[in-house]
Amino acid sequence: MISVNFQGRSGIVLGVANKRSLAWAIAQQMHQAGASLCFTYQNERLRAKMEPLVEDIGGAPLFQLDVNDDAQVDEVFAAAAAELGGRLDFLVHSIAFAPREELEGDFLDTSREGFRIALEVSAYSLVRTTRAMVPYVPEQGGSVITLTYLASERVVPKYNVMGSAKAALEHSVRQLAAELGPRGIRVNAVSAGPVSTLSARGIGGFTDILAHYREKSPMKRNIEAEEVGKASLFLLSDLASGITGEILHVDAGYNIMAI
C-alpha cells in the first residue's frame, strides 16, 4: 500500500513571501507528510515575514536567493543540500514576476525589457534551479513542481506578458520532464485558479477575476490555497510515480468551460 509519507525525504521551497503564498500552502502539506524542508526568501524584508511562519512548523533553514543570480543559485542549493543530509528529493518552484506596467496596458505595448524580465524570473528560473538541484537528487530519483496559470493557454486580459512567461514555463516543464525522466526525476506543474496572494493582487481587476471564476466554474466557487497544496503534495509524492510533464489544473474545473 502506498501512503503519502515523506519521512526521511527533504526538499527546498522557493517562493514563500508570506502566509498567503501558494508556496507556503504547499510547504505546510509537505511538512505534515513528514518532509524535511528548507526555504529561500527573495530579500531581507521577506525574511522577517517568513521567520514566524517557519517557527510554526518547528523551524527550518532559510537562505536568501534571487533567482536571477546564477552564483547564488548554485551556492544556495549546495548549502541547502548540506543542511538536509546531502540530498534534495524535491523542489517547489513558486516564483513569478513581471514589471507592474506590463500588466496594465496592452500586450502590444510590451517592452523588450519587460518581456525579458518576465520570462527570466518566471520561466528560466525553473530551468536554472532544477539544474542546481540535480546533483543532489538521490539515485532513486526526485520530483519538481512549479505553479502556472491558464493565461498560458488562453487570453486573460491584463495578464499580458505573464501569459507568455507561463507558456514558456509549461514548455520547460515538458522539456525538463523528458530529459530528466531517465534519471528518475519527475517534473510537473499545477495550474492554479486565482487565489488572493501578494502577486495576484498586482494583476489589474483581480477581484473581478475571482468573481468571474465563482460564476463560471463547474464548482461555482474559488479554490483555496490549501487545495493547491494538496494537489502539489500528490504530484510530488509516490502516488504520482507514473506522472511527469503534466499540467494539472486545480481551478474548480474552470478550464473545461467554453462559455
Candidate residues 26, 50, 91, 95; the one interacting with ligand NAD per rule CB under 6 A: 95
Q: Using CA atoms, how far apart are residues 196 and 218, in angstroms rounded to an integer?
A: 20
Containing 249, the helix (H) or strand (E) segment is strand 247-250
146 to 165, contacts with ligand NAD by CB under 6 A? Answer: 147-149
How would you classify residue 15: left for phi > 0, otherwise alpha for psi between -120 and 50, otherwise beta? left
Is 213 marked active-site? no
Neighbours of 82 (CB within 10 A): 11
How many residues make contact with ligand NAD (CB under 6 A)?
A: 27
* Active-site residue (options: 41, 136, 149, 254): 149
Nearest approach, Cβ of residue 4 and ligand NAD (Å): 22
Is 254 marked active-site? no
- Is residue 168 at the binding interface for ligand NAD, with CB under 6 A as the rule? no
Kindly tell me which of 68 and 255 has the beta carbon lying closer to ligand NAD. 68
- Is residue 178 at the binding interface for ligand NAD, with CB under 6 A as the rule? no
- Is residue 16 at the binding interface for ligand NAD, with CB under 6 A as the rule? yes
- Is residue 255 at the binding interface for ligand NAD, with CB under 6 A as the rule? no
Stretch near ligand NAD under the rule CB under 6 A, chosen from 84-92, 145-153, 180-188, 235-243:
145-153
Closest CA to 23 of 250, 169, 187, 226: 226
- Is residue 39 at the binding interface for ligand NAD, with CB under 6 A as the rule? no
Nearest approach, Cβ of residue 59 and ligand NAD (Å): 19
Q: How would you class 83 by CB atoms within 10 Å of its CB: exposed for 0-12, middle for 13-18, buried for 19 or more?
A: middle
What phi and psi values does residue 8 have, to the nearest 5 degrees? 85, 0
What is residue 90's three-state secondary structure? strand
- Is residue 64 at the binding interface for ligand NAD, with CB under 6 A as the rule? no
Candidate residues 9, 10, 13, 17; the one interacting with ligand NAD per rule CB under 6 A: 17
- Is residue 10 at the binding interface for ligand NAD, with CB under 6 A as the rule? no
Kindly tell me which of 17 and 62 has the beta carbon lying closer to ligand NAD. 17
CB 53 within 8 A of CB 19: yes
Q: How would you class 75 by CB atoms within 10 Å of its CB: exposed for 0-12, middle for 13-18, buried for 19 or more?
A: middle
Containing 14, the helix (H) or strand (E) segment is strand 10-14
| Contact mark string toward ligand NAD, 120..139, x via CB under 6 A | -x------------------
- Is residue 235 at the binding interface for ligand NAD, with CB under 6 A as the rule? no
- Is residue 197 at the binding interface for ligand NAD, with CB under 6 A as the rule? yes
**Sole residue written with cell 521577506:** 46
Task: Please give the torsion angle defined by the CA atoms of residues 1, 250, 254 and 95, in that order, rounded to the nearest 10 degrees.
Answer: -160
Catalytic residues: 149, 159
Contacting positions for ligand NAD (CB under 6 A):
15-17, 21-23, 42, 46, 65-68, 94-97, 121, 147-149, 192, 194-195, 197-200
